Chain A
Amino acid sequence: MNGLVVRDVGKSFGGVRALEGVDLDVAPGAIVGLMGANGAGKTTLFGVIAGNERADAGTITFEGRRIDGLRPDRVAALGIARTFQIVRPFRALSVRDNVLLAARFGRRPRDDDPAATTAAALADLGLAEQAGRPAGALTLAEQKRLELARAVATGARLVLVDEVMAGLNATEVAAMLDVIGRLHQDRRLTLLVVEHVMQALMRLAQRIVVLHQGRVIAEGEPATIAGDARVSEAYLGAAP
Protein backbone atom coordinates (compact mmCIF):
# COMPACT_ATOMS: atom_id res chain seq x y z
CA MET A 1 0.00 0.00 0.00
CA ASN A 2 1.94 2.99 -1.24
CA GLY A 3 -0.76 5.54 -1.95
CA LEU A 4 -0.44 7.56 -5.11
CA VAL A 5 2.82 7.60 -7.04
CA VAL A 6 3.21 9.88 -10.05
CA ARG A 7 6.42 9.51 -12.06
CA ASP A 8 7.72 11.65 -14.89
CA VAL A 9 4.26 12.55 -16.15
CA GLY A 10 3.95 14.81 -19.16
CA LYS A 11 0.93 16.21 -20.97
CA SER A 12 0.69 18.69 -23.83
CA PHE A 13 -2.29 20.38 -25.41
CA GLY A 14 -1.16 21.12 -28.92
CA GLY A 15 1.83 23.38 -28.33
CA VAL A 16 1.11 24.02 -24.66
CA ARG A 17 3.15 21.87 -22.28
CA ALA A 18 0.74 21.65 -19.37
CA LEU A 19 2.82 19.05 -17.48
CA GLU A 20 6.43 18.03 -17.84
CA GLY A 21 8.37 15.42 -15.86
CA VAL A 22 6.05 15.64 -12.88
CA ASP A 23 6.86 13.43 -9.86
CA LEU A 24 4.49 13.35 -6.93
CA ASP A 25 3.88 11.07 -3.95
CA VAL A 26 0.84 11.03 -1.73
CA ALA A 27 1.17 8.61 1.18
CA PRO A 28 -1.95 6.80 2.42
CA GLY A 29 -3.81 9.00 4.88
CA ALA A 30 -1.86 12.14 4.09
CA ILE A 31 -3.09 15.57 3.08
CA VAL A 32 -0.83 16.95 0.39
CA GLY A 33 -1.31 20.47 -0.89
CA LEU A 34 -0.75 21.34 -4.55
CA MET A 35 0.06 24.96 -5.24
CA GLY A 36 0.83 27.00 -8.29
CA ALA A 37 -0.26 30.06 -10.22
CA ASN A 38 -3.09 29.95 -12.73
CA GLY A 39 -2.15 27.79 -15.65
CA ALA A 40 0.54 25.91 -13.70
CA GLY A 41 -1.04 22.57 -14.61
CA LYS A 42 -2.80 21.61 -11.38
CA THR A 43 -6.17 20.81 -12.90
CA THR A 44 -4.51 19.00 -15.78
CA LEU A 45 -2.66 16.80 -13.29
CA PHE A 46 -5.98 15.94 -11.64
CA GLY A 47 -7.46 15.13 -15.03
CA VAL A 48 -4.55 12.86 -15.86
CA ILE A 49 -4.77 11.03 -12.52
CA ALA A 50 -8.57 10.62 -12.70
CA GLY A 51 -8.45 9.42 -16.30
CA ASN A 52 -10.24 12.40 -17.85
CA GLU A 53 -7.04 13.21 -19.73
CA ARG A 54 -4.47 10.80 -21.05
CA ALA A 55 -0.85 11.49 -20.14
CA ASP A 56 1.66 11.62 -23.01
CA ALA A 57 4.43 10.27 -20.82
CA GLY A 58 5.15 8.79 -17.41
CA THR A 59 3.42 6.40 -15.07
CA ILE A 60 0.85 6.70 -12.30
CA THR A 61 0.25 3.98 -9.72
CA PHE A 62 -2.32 3.83 -6.97
CA GLU A 63 -2.05 1.27 -4.20
CA GLY A 64 0.50 -0.56 -6.29
CA ARG A 65 -1.59 -0.68 -9.46
CA ARG A 66 -0.88 1.16 -12.70
CA ILE A 67 -3.74 3.55 -13.41
CA ASP A 68 -2.35 5.72 -16.20
CA GLY A 69 -4.37 5.20 -19.37
CA LEU A 70 -7.37 3.79 -17.51
CA ARG A 71 -10.83 5.16 -18.22
CA PRO A 72 -12.29 7.48 -15.55
CA ASP A 73 -14.84 4.90 -14.42
CA ARG A 74 -12.07 2.34 -13.94
CA VAL A 75 -10.06 4.82 -11.87
CA ALA A 76 -13.16 5.59 -9.82
CA ALA A 77 -13.69 1.85 -9.31
CA LEU A 78 -10.22 1.62 -7.79
CA GLY A 79 -11.06 4.30 -5.24
CA ILE A 80 -10.04 7.70 -6.61
CA ALA A 81 -12.47 10.59 -6.86
CA ARG A 82 -12.04 14.19 -7.94
CA THR A 83 -13.96 17.42 -7.70
CA PHE A 84 -14.21 19.83 -10.61
CA GLN A 85 -12.81 23.32 -10.19
CA ILE A 86 -15.52 24.52 -12.55
CA VAL A 87 -18.38 22.70 -10.88
CA ARG A 88 -20.21 20.02 -12.85
CA PRO A 89 -23.35 19.04 -10.98
CA PHE A 90 -26.19 17.07 -12.56
CA ARG A 91 -28.15 20.32 -12.65
CA ALA A 92 -31.66 19.03 -13.24
CA LEU A 93 -31.39 16.32 -10.58
CA SER A 94 -31.91 16.85 -6.87
CA VAL A 95 -28.89 17.27 -4.62
CA ARG A 96 -29.72 13.88 -3.11
CA ASP A 97 -29.86 12.17 -6.51
CA ASN A 98 -26.53 13.73 -7.45
CA VAL A 99 -24.89 12.11 -4.44
CA LEU A 100 -26.90 8.90 -4.71
CA LEU A 101 -25.59 8.34 -8.23
CA ALA A 102 -22.04 8.60 -6.93
CA ALA A 103 -22.87 6.09 -4.19
CA ARG A 104 -24.47 3.65 -6.65
CA PHE A 105 -21.39 3.71 -8.86
CA GLY A 106 -17.96 4.77 -7.65
CA ARG A 107 -15.63 2.32 -5.99
CA ARG A 108 -15.85 -1.44 -6.36
CA PRO A 109 -16.97 -3.68 -4.78
CA ARG A 110 -20.17 -1.71 -4.90
CA ASP A 111 -21.81 -0.02 -1.95
CA ASP A 112 -24.56 -2.24 -0.58
CA ASP A 113 -26.38 0.66 1.08
CA PRO A 114 -26.08 3.68 -1.20
CA ALA A 115 -28.98 5.49 0.48
CA ALA A 116 -27.19 5.46 3.84
CA THR A 117 -23.92 6.54 2.21
CA THR A 118 -25.76 9.40 0.55
CA ALA A 119 -27.39 10.55 3.78
CA ALA A 120 -24.04 10.48 5.58
CA ALA A 121 -22.25 12.42 2.83
CA LEU A 122 -25.01 15.04 2.72
CA ALA A 123 -24.83 15.43 6.49
CA ASP A 124 -21.04 15.70 6.52
CA LEU A 125 -21.07 18.42 3.88
CA GLY A 126 -23.97 20.32 5.47
CA LEU A 127 -26.25 19.72 2.52
CA ALA A 128 -28.99 17.70 4.23
CA GLU A 129 -31.40 20.66 4.18
CA GLN A 130 -30.85 21.17 0.44
CA ALA A 131 -31.26 17.48 -0.44
CA GLY A 132 -34.55 17.94 -2.29
CA ARG A 133 -33.55 20.97 -4.35
CA PRO A 134 -32.29 20.77 -7.92
CA ALA A 135 -28.51 21.00 -7.88
CA GLY A 136 -28.60 23.81 -10.44
CA ALA A 137 -30.41 26.02 -7.92
CA LEU A 138 -27.64 25.90 -5.30
CA THR A 139 -25.27 28.79 -4.61
CA LEU A 140 -21.69 28.41 -5.80
CA ALA A 141 -20.50 27.66 -2.25
CA GLU A 142 -23.11 24.92 -1.98
CA GLN A 143 -22.21 23.50 -5.38
CA LYS A 144 -18.58 23.27 -4.29
CA ARG A 145 -19.70 21.29 -1.25
CA LEU A 146 -21.83 19.12 -3.52
CA GLU A 147 -18.69 18.35 -5.55
CA LEU A 148 -17.08 17.10 -2.34
CA ALA A 149 -20.17 15.21 -1.19
CA ARG A 150 -20.28 13.39 -4.51
CA ALA A 151 -16.59 12.56 -4.41
CA VAL A 152 -16.85 11.23 -0.88
CA ALA A 153 -19.98 9.20 -1.65
CA THR A 154 -18.15 7.21 -4.32
CA GLY A 155 -16.35 5.49 -1.46
CA ALA A 156 -13.01 6.80 -2.70
CA ARG A 157 -9.93 6.44 -0.52
CA LEU A 158 -8.10 9.22 -2.37
CA VAL A 159 -9.94 12.44 -3.14
CA LEU A 160 -8.51 15.09 -5.45
CA VAL A 161 -9.91 18.43 -4.30
CA ASP A 162 -9.68 21.22 -6.88
CA GLU A 163 -10.08 24.76 -5.51
CA VAL A 164 -13.23 24.18 -3.49
CA MET A 165 -12.52 27.41 -1.59
CA ALA A 166 -12.13 29.67 -4.60
CA GLY A 167 -14.80 32.34 -4.70
CA LEU A 168 -15.87 31.79 -1.11
CA ASN A 169 -15.85 34.51 1.56
CA ALA A 170 -13.69 34.27 4.71
CA THR A 171 -16.39 32.64 6.82
CA GLU A 172 -17.14 30.09 4.12
CA VAL A 173 -13.43 29.32 3.72
CA ALA A 174 -13.10 28.68 7.44
CA ALA A 175 -16.15 26.41 7.36
CA MET A 176 -14.78 24.52 4.36
CA LEU A 177 -11.43 24.01 6.08
CA ASP A 178 -13.27 22.49 9.03
CA VAL A 179 -15.28 20.22 6.78
CA ILE A 180 -12.22 18.96 4.90
CA GLY A 181 -10.33 18.41 8.14
CA ARG A 182 -13.18 16.33 9.50
CA LEU A 183 -13.55 14.33 6.29
CA HIS A 184 -9.88 13.48 6.54
CA GLN A 185 -10.09 12.42 10.17
CA ASP A 186 -13.45 10.66 10.32
CA ARG A 187 -13.20 8.89 6.99
CA ARG A 188 -9.44 8.39 6.93
CA LEU A 189 -9.33 9.88 3.48
CA THR A 190 -6.16 10.58 1.60
CA LEU A 191 -6.38 14.06 0.11
CA LEU A 192 -4.57 15.93 -2.62
CA VAL A 193 -5.76 19.51 -2.35
CA VAL A 194 -5.33 22.28 -4.90
CA GLU A 195 -5.85 25.66 -3.36
CA HIS A 196 -5.16 29.22 -4.30
CA VAL A 197 -5.82 30.54 -0.82
CA MET A 198 -2.28 29.94 0.43
CA GLN A 199 -3.01 30.30 4.13
CA ALA A 200 -5.79 27.77 3.87
CA LEU A 201 -3.44 25.25 2.33
CA MET A 202 -0.78 25.96 4.96
CA ARG A 203 -3.24 25.07 7.72
CA LEU A 204 -4.54 21.94 6.05
CA ALA A 205 -1.61 20.19 4.44
CA GLN A 206 1.29 18.32 5.96
CA ARG A 207 3.25 18.60 2.76
CA ILE A 208 3.03 21.00 -0.13
CA VAL A 209 4.07 20.55 -3.73
CA VAL A 210 4.49 23.58 -5.95
CA LEU A 211 3.89 23.45 -9.69
CA HIS A 212 5.16 26.12 -12.02
CA GLN A 213 4.61 26.00 -15.76
CA GLY A 214 3.96 22.28 -15.62
CA ARG A 215 6.98 21.39 -13.50
CA VAL A 216 7.42 20.70 -9.79
CA ILE A 217 9.67 23.49 -8.52
CA ALA A 218 9.48 22.89 -4.77
CA GLU A 219 8.07 20.56 -2.19
CA GLY A 220 8.21 20.23 1.56
CA GLU A 221 6.54 21.26 4.79
CA PRO A 222 4.31 24.33 4.67
CA ALA A 223 6.78 26.46 6.66
CA THR A 224 9.65 25.62 4.29
CA ILE A 225 7.54 26.35 1.24
CA ALA A 226 6.39 29.67 2.66
CA GLY A 227 10.02 30.79 2.91
CA ASP A 228 11.12 29.40 -0.45
CA ALA A 229 12.37 32.13 -2.75
CA ARG A 230 11.53 30.26 -5.96
CA VAL A 231 7.95 29.87 -4.80
CA SER A 232 7.37 33.52 -4.04
CA GLU A 233 9.07 34.39 -7.29
CA ALA A 234 6.83 32.02 -9.23
CA TYR A 235 3.79 33.48 -7.54
CA LEU A 236 4.83 37.10 -7.77
CA GLY A 237 6.12 36.62 -11.27
CA ALA A 238 2.78 35.27 -12.31
CA ALA A 239 0.87 38.04 -10.60
CA PRO A 240 -0.40 40.80 -12.89
Chain B
Amino acid sequence: MTPRAGIAAGAALALAGAVPWLVGPYGLTIALNAAMWVALTVSWSILGGTAAYISLGHVAFYGLGAYVVVTSWQVLPLVVAVPLGGLVAGAFALTIGWPVLRVRGPYFVILTLGIAELVKYAVLNVEAALGASSRLLFGVPDNRTLYLATLGLAVLAIIVAALVRRSRLGAGLVAVREDEVTAETIGVPIGRYKVFAFALSAVIPGMVGGLMALRSAYFEPLQVFNPVISFTIVTMAVVGGAADARGPILGALLLVVVSELLWANAPQGYMIALGVLLIGFVVFAPGGITGALARPRP
Protein backbone atom coordinates (compact mmCIF):
# COMPACT_ATOMS: atom_id res chain seq x y z
CA MET B 1 0.00 0.00 0.00
CA THR B 2 1.31 3.46 -0.84
CA PRO B 3 1.54 5.99 2.04
CA ARG B 4 -1.32 7.97 0.51
CA ALA B 5 -3.55 4.92 0.22
CA GLY B 6 -2.63 4.02 3.80
CA ILE B 7 -3.68 7.45 5.05
CA ALA B 8 -6.90 7.28 3.04
CA ALA B 9 -7.70 3.83 4.44
CA GLY B 10 -6.94 5.00 7.99
CA ALA B 11 -9.18 8.04 7.57
CA ALA B 12 -12.00 5.92 6.13
CA LEU B 13 -11.70 3.50 9.02
CA ALA B 14 -11.72 6.30 11.61
CA LEU B 15 -14.78 7.80 9.97
CA ALA B 16 -16.53 4.41 9.79
CA GLY B 17 -15.75 3.84 13.48
CA ALA B 18 -17.22 7.22 14.40
CA VAL B 19 -20.47 6.68 12.48
CA PRO B 20 -22.63 5.73 15.52
CA TRP B 21 -21.86 9.10 17.07
CA LEU B 22 -22.34 11.04 13.85
CA VAL B 23 -25.66 9.79 12.49
CA GLY B 24 -29.15 9.02 13.73
CA PRO B 25 -30.81 5.60 14.06
CA TYR B 26 -31.75 5.43 10.37
CA GLY B 27 -28.21 6.30 9.30
CA LEU B 28 -26.88 3.67 11.66
CA THR B 29 -29.11 1.01 10.07
CA ILE B 30 -27.68 1.86 6.65
CA ALA B 31 -24.14 1.80 8.02
CA LEU B 32 -24.81 -1.60 9.57
CA ASN B 33 -26.09 -2.84 6.20
CA ALA B 34 -23.00 -1.49 4.49
CA ALA B 35 -20.62 -3.16 6.97
CA MET B 36 -22.50 -6.44 6.67
CA TRP B 37 -22.44 -6.51 2.86
CA VAL B 38 -18.80 -5.47 2.65
CA ALA B 39 -17.86 -8.24 5.08
CA LEU B 40 -19.90 -10.82 3.15
CA THR B 41 -18.85 -9.80 -0.36
CA VAL B 42 -15.16 -9.40 0.42
CA SER B 43 -15.15 -12.81 2.14
CA TRP B 44 -16.88 -14.36 -0.85
CA SER B 45 -14.20 -12.89 -3.12
CA ILE B 46 -11.47 -14.90 -1.36
CA LEU B 47 -12.44 -17.75 -3.68
CA GLY B 48 -14.84 -16.07 -6.11
CA GLY B 49 -12.57 -13.15 -6.95
CA THR B 50 -9.37 -15.15 -7.32
CA ALA B 51 -10.28 -18.54 -8.74
CA ALA B 52 -13.62 -17.33 -10.19
CA TYR B 53 -15.56 -20.16 -8.57
CA ILE B 54 -18.91 -18.41 -8.23
CA SER B 55 -20.62 -19.66 -5.07
CA LEU B 56 -24.33 -18.99 -5.06
CA GLY B 57 -24.68 -20.69 -1.72
CA HIS B 58 -22.91 -18.42 0.74
CA VAL B 59 -26.15 -17.84 2.61
CA ALA B 60 -25.74 -21.35 4.01
CA PHE B 61 -22.66 -20.19 5.94
CA TYR B 62 -24.44 -17.06 7.07
CA GLY B 63 -27.45 -19.07 8.19
CA LEU B 64 -25.40 -21.68 10.02
CA GLY B 65 -23.55 -18.97 11.91
CA ALA B 66 -26.87 -17.37 12.79
CA TYR B 67 -28.15 -20.69 14.06
CA VAL B 68 -25.18 -21.28 16.29
CA VAL B 69 -25.65 -17.88 17.91
CA VAL B 70 -29.42 -18.17 18.25
CA THR B 71 -29.45 -21.69 19.68
CA SER B 72 -26.72 -20.83 22.16
CA TRP B 73 -28.34 -17.52 23.11
CA GLN B 74 -28.03 -16.85 26.86
CA VAL B 75 -25.95 -20.01 27.14
CA LEU B 76 -22.72 -18.90 25.52
CA PRO B 77 -21.41 -15.34 25.65
CA LEU B 78 -21.40 -13.62 22.26
CA VAL B 79 -17.63 -13.41 22.09
CA VAL B 80 -17.66 -17.21 22.07
CA ALA B 81 -20.86 -17.88 20.12
CA VAL B 82 -20.07 -15.61 17.16
CA PRO B 83 -16.59 -17.05 16.45
CA LEU B 84 -18.06 -20.52 17.00
CA GLY B 85 -20.62 -19.70 14.30
CA GLY B 86 -17.73 -18.81 11.99
CA LEU B 87 -15.96 -22.07 12.81
CA VAL B 88 -19.07 -24.14 12.16
CA ALA B 89 -19.55 -22.37 8.81
CA GLY B 90 -15.89 -22.96 7.93
CA ALA B 91 -16.04 -26.60 8.96
CA PHE B 92 -19.17 -27.10 6.86
CA ALA B 93 -17.44 -25.52 3.85
CA LEU B 94 -14.45 -27.79 4.41
CA THR B 95 -16.70 -30.84 4.48
CA ILE B 96 -18.67 -30.09 1.34
CA GLY B 97 -15.66 -28.48 -0.37
CA TRP B 98 -13.89 -31.67 -1.49
CA PRO B 99 -16.75 -33.01 -3.61
CA VAL B 100 -18.31 -29.69 -4.55
CA LEU B 101 -15.15 -28.03 -5.83
CA ARG B 102 -14.59 -30.82 -8.33
CA VAL B 103 -17.19 -29.29 -10.58
CA ARG B 104 -16.73 -25.88 -12.05
CA GLY B 105 -18.39 -23.16 -14.06
CA PRO B 106 -22.19 -23.18 -14.08
CA TYR B 107 -22.28 -26.60 -12.37
CA PHE B 108 -20.53 -25.20 -9.33
CA VAL B 109 -22.92 -22.24 -9.26
CA ILE B 110 -25.98 -24.48 -9.35
CA LEU B 111 -24.56 -27.02 -6.92
CA THR B 112 -23.79 -24.38 -4.28
CA LEU B 113 -27.25 -22.89 -4.72
CA GLY B 114 -28.78 -26.34 -4.30
CA ILE B 115 -26.75 -27.15 -1.20
CA ALA B 116 -27.79 -23.89 0.43
CA GLU B 117 -31.45 -24.70 -0.24
CA LEU B 118 -30.90 -28.20 1.11
CA VAL B 119 -29.41 -26.82 4.32
CA LYS B 120 -32.32 -24.41 4.62
CA TYR B 121 -34.95 -27.14 4.37
CA ALA B 122 -32.99 -29.48 6.62
CA VAL B 123 -32.92 -26.81 9.31
CA LEU B 124 -36.59 -25.95 8.79
CA ASN B 125 -37.55 -29.61 9.16
CA VAL B 126 -35.53 -30.09 12.30
CA GLU B 127 -37.07 -26.94 13.71
CA ALA B 128 -40.56 -28.08 12.78
CA ALA B 129 -39.94 -31.47 14.38
CA LEU B 130 -38.79 -29.75 17.55
CA GLY B 131 -41.71 -27.36 17.37
CA ALA B 132 -39.46 -24.31 17.44
CA SER B 133 -39.88 -22.59 14.10
CA SER B 134 -39.31 -19.08 15.42
CA ARG B 135 -37.75 -17.70 18.55
CA LEU B 136 -37.85 -14.62 20.72
CA LEU B 137 -34.45 -13.42 21.83
CA PHE B 138 -34.31 -11.34 24.97
CA GLY B 139 -31.61 -8.82 25.61
CA VAL B 140 -30.09 -8.52 22.12
CA PRO B 141 -27.32 -5.93 21.79
CA ASP B 142 -28.13 -2.49 20.44
CA ASN B 143 -27.36 -1.46 16.86
CA ARG B 144 -24.31 0.51 17.86
CA THR B 145 -22.65 -2.60 19.31
CA LEU B 146 -23.73 -4.72 16.35
CA TYR B 147 -22.42 -2.13 13.93
CA LEU B 148 -19.01 -1.87 15.56
CA ALA B 149 -18.65 -5.65 15.69
CA THR B 150 -19.72 -6.02 12.05
CA LEU B 151 -17.37 -3.23 11.02
CA GLY B 152 -14.61 -5.16 12.75
CA LEU B 153 -15.50 -8.22 10.68
CA ALA B 154 -15.56 -6.16 7.48
CA VAL B 155 -12.06 -4.88 8.23
CA LEU B 156 -10.91 -8.38 9.10
CA ALA B 157 -12.34 -9.69 5.82
CA ILE B 158 -10.53 -6.98 3.86
CA ILE B 159 -7.24 -7.80 5.59
CA VAL B 160 -7.60 -11.56 5.09
CA ALA B 161 -8.61 -11.16 1.44
CA ALA B 162 -5.65 -8.85 0.80
CA LEU B 163 -3.23 -11.27 2.45
CA VAL B 164 -4.60 -14.16 0.38
CA ARG B 165 -4.21 -12.19 -2.85
CA ARG B 166 -0.56 -11.46 -2.08
CA SER B 167 0.28 -14.97 -1.00
CA ARG B 168 1.26 -18.04 -2.97
CA LEU B 169 -2.27 -19.29 -2.26
CA GLY B 170 -3.72 -16.28 -4.08
CA ALA B 171 -1.34 -16.72 -7.01
CA GLY B 172 -2.29 -20.37 -7.28
CA LEU B 173 -5.99 -19.51 -7.23
CA VAL B 174 -5.49 -17.03 -10.07
CA ALA B 175 -3.76 -19.80 -12.01
CA VAL B 176 -6.82 -21.98 -11.34
CA ARG B 177 -9.05 -19.26 -12.76
CA GLU B 178 -6.93 -19.00 -15.91
CA ASP B 179 -6.45 -22.71 -16.66
CA GLU B 180 -6.89 -25.40 -14.07
CA VAL B 181 -5.04 -28.10 -16.01
CA THR B 182 -2.03 -25.89 -16.58
CA ALA B 183 -2.15 -24.80 -12.96
CA GLU B 184 -1.85 -28.31 -11.56
CA THR B 185 0.71 -29.27 -14.18
CA ILE B 186 3.08 -26.50 -13.04
CA GLY B 187 2.65 -27.66 -9.45
CA VAL B 188 -0.32 -25.82 -7.95
CA PRO B 189 -2.09 -28.17 -5.49
CA ILE B 190 -5.44 -27.10 -6.87
CA GLY B 191 -7.70 -29.30 -4.74
CA ARG B 192 -6.23 -28.24 -1.42
CA TYR B 193 -6.05 -24.58 -2.43
CA LYS B 194 -9.65 -24.39 -3.58
CA VAL B 195 -11.03 -26.13 -0.51
CA PHE B 196 -8.95 -24.02 1.85
CA ALA B 197 -10.03 -20.78 0.13
CA PHE B 198 -13.67 -21.93 0.16
CA ALA B 199 -13.51 -22.61 3.90
CA LEU B 200 -11.73 -19.32 4.52
CA SER B 201 -14.41 -17.50 2.53
CA ALA B 202 -17.10 -19.09 4.73
CA VAL B 203 -15.81 -18.22 8.23
CA ILE B 204 -16.53 -14.50 8.34
CA PRO B 205 -19.97 -14.89 6.69
CA GLY B 206 -20.75 -17.36 9.49
CA MET B 207 -19.82 -14.75 12.08
CA VAL B 208 -21.73 -12.02 10.25
CA GLY B 209 -24.81 -14.24 10.21
CA GLY B 210 -24.45 -14.71 13.95
CA LEU B 211 -24.47 -10.97 14.52
CA MET B 212 -27.27 -10.26 12.06
CA ALA B 213 -29.54 -12.79 13.76
CA LEU B 214 -29.53 -10.39 16.69
CA ARG B 215 -30.77 -7.39 14.74
CA SER B 216 -34.26 -8.07 15.93
CA ALA B 217 -35.59 -9.92 18.93
CA TYR B 218 -37.72 -12.09 16.70
CA PHE B 219 -35.81 -14.82 14.87
CA GLU B 220 -37.11 -16.74 11.90
CA PRO B 221 -35.04 -19.38 10.08
CA LEU B 222 -36.40 -18.51 6.63
CA GLN B 223 -34.81 -15.09 6.91
CA VAL B 224 -31.25 -16.21 7.58
CA PHE B 225 -31.33 -18.81 4.81
CA ASN B 226 -32.92 -16.52 2.23
CA PRO B 227 -31.18 -17.16 -1.13
CA VAL B 228 -31.57 -13.48 -1.97
CA ILE B 229 -28.60 -12.96 0.35
CA SER B 230 -26.42 -15.15 -1.91
CA PHE B 231 -27.71 -13.40 -5.04
CA THR B 232 -26.96 -10.04 -3.52
CA ILE B 233 -23.38 -11.03 -2.63
CA VAL B 234 -22.69 -12.23 -6.17
CA THR B 235 -24.28 -9.15 -7.72
CA MET B 236 -22.22 -6.83 -5.51
CA ALA B 237 -19.02 -8.69 -6.40
CA VAL B 238 -19.81 -8.68 -10.11
CA VAL B 239 -20.81 -5.01 -10.18
CA GLY B 240 -17.66 -3.94 -8.34
CA GLY B 241 -15.44 -6.39 -10.19
CA ALA B 242 -14.24 -9.30 -8.09
CA ALA B 243 -10.86 -9.74 -9.78
CA ASP B 244 -9.77 -6.47 -8.17
CA ALA B 245 -9.36 -6.35 -4.38
CA ARG B 246 -11.31 -3.09 -4.18
CA GLY B 247 -14.16 -4.28 -6.39
CA PRO B 248 -16.20 -6.15 -3.77
CA ILE B 249 -16.02 -3.20 -1.37
CA LEU B 250 -17.07 -0.77 -4.07
CA GLY B 251 -19.87 -3.01 -5.33
CA ALA B 252 -21.23 -3.59 -1.82
CA LEU B 253 -21.28 0.10 -0.90
CA LEU B 254 -22.82 1.07 -4.21
CA LEU B 255 -25.60 -1.48 -4.00
CA VAL B 256 -26.38 -0.59 -0.40
CA VAL B 257 -27.05 2.96 -1.56
CA VAL B 258 -29.06 1.78 -4.56
CA SER B 259 -31.15 -0.55 -2.44
CA GLU B 260 -31.86 2.19 0.12
CA LEU B 261 -33.13 4.43 -2.66
CA LEU B 262 -35.23 1.60 -4.05
CA TRP B 263 -36.69 0.53 -0.70
CA ALA B 264 -37.72 4.14 -0.13
CA ASN B 265 -39.23 4.69 -3.58
CA ALA B 266 -40.06 1.35 -5.20
CA PRO B 267 -39.76 -1.58 -2.79
CA GLN B 268 -40.96 -4.12 -5.36
CA GLY B 269 -38.16 -3.04 -7.66
CA TYR B 270 -35.28 -4.37 -5.57
CA MET B 271 -35.06 -7.90 -6.97
CA ILE B 272 -35.65 -6.64 -10.49
CA ALA B 273 -32.91 -4.04 -10.13
CA LEU B 274 -30.56 -6.68 -8.73
CA GLY B 275 -31.23 -8.98 -11.69
CA VAL B 276 -30.89 -6.21 -14.25
CA LEU B 277 -27.61 -5.05 -12.74
CA LEU B 278 -26.23 -8.58 -12.62
CA ILE B 279 -27.13 -9.39 -16.22
CA GLY B 280 -26.09 -5.97 -17.48
CA PHE B 281 -22.65 -6.22 -15.93
CA VAL B 282 -22.07 -9.84 -16.93
CA VAL B 283 -22.91 -9.01 -20.54
CA PHE B 284 -21.42 -5.53 -20.96
CA ALA B 285 -18.73 -5.23 -18.30
CA PRO B 286 -17.76 -8.67 -16.99
CA GLY B 287 -14.82 -7.12 -15.14
CA GLY B 288 -17.20 -4.93 -13.15
CA ILE B 289 -16.55 -1.27 -12.42
CA THR B 290 -12.94 -1.80 -11.38
CA GLY B 291 -12.29 -3.95 -14.45
CA ALA B 292 -13.77 -1.34 -16.77
CA LEU B 293 -11.72 1.42 -15.15
CA ALA B 294 -8.48 -0.56 -15.24
CA ARG B 295 -8.72 -1.43 -18.92
CA PRO B 296 -10.38 1.39 -20.82
CA ARG B 297 -11.57 0.27 -24.24
CA PRO B 298 -9.57 1.67 -27.12
* B172 cross-chain contacts in A, Cβ below 8 A: 101, 105
Number of A-B contacts (CB under 8 A): 67
Contact in complex: B187, A73 (CB < 8 Å): yes
A90-B175, A93-B174, A101-B171 known; A76+B182 contact, CB < 8 A: no
Contact in complex: A106, B186 (CB < 8 Å): yes
Task: Tell me if B168 counts as interface (CB < 8 A to partner A).
Answer: yes
Task: Tell me if A81 counts as interface (CB < 8 A to partner B).
Answer: yes
Which of A82, A91, A92 has the most B CB atoms < 10 Å from its CB? A92
Bound form: Cα–Cα A106–B182 in Å: 11
Bound form: Cα–Cα A214–B253 in Å: 59
Which of A73, A81, A89 has the most B CB atoms < 10 Å from its CB? A73
Task: Tell me if A205 counts as interface (CB < 8 A to partner B).
Answer: no
- 8 A Cβ contacts from A156-178 to B: none
Bound form: Cα–Cα A76–B184 in Å: 8
Contact of B186 among A92, A93, A105 (CB under 8 A): A105
Contact in complex: B184, A72 (CB < 8 Å): yes
A101-B175, A104-B168, A104-B171 known; A84+B184 contact, CB < 8 A: no
Bound form: Cα–Cα A29–B187 in Å: 22
Task: Tell me if A34 counts as interface (CB < 8 A to partner B).
Answer: no
* B187 cross-chain contacts in A, Cβ below 8 A: 72-73, 76-77, 102, 105-107, 154
Task: Tell me if A71 counts as interface (CB < 8 A to partner B).
Answer: yes
B272 CB to nearest chain A CB (Å)? 32
Contact in complex: A73, B178 (CB < 8 Å): no
Task: Tell me if A50 counts as interface (CB < 8 A to partner B).
Answer: yes
Given contacts A101-B171, A102-B186, A154-B186, 5 further A-B contacts (CB under 8 A): A52-B181, A72-B181, A72-B187, A101-B175, A105-B186
B residues at A contact (CB < 8 Å): 168, 171-172, 174-175, 178-179, 181-191
A/B interface sample: 21 pairs, CB < 8 A: A52-B181, A52-B185, A73-B184, A73-B189, A73-B190, A81-B186, A82-B185, A88-B179, A88-B182, A90-B179, A91-B179, A93-B174, A101-B183, A101-B186, A101-B188, A102-B186, A102-B187, A105-B175, A105-B186, A106-B187, A107-B187
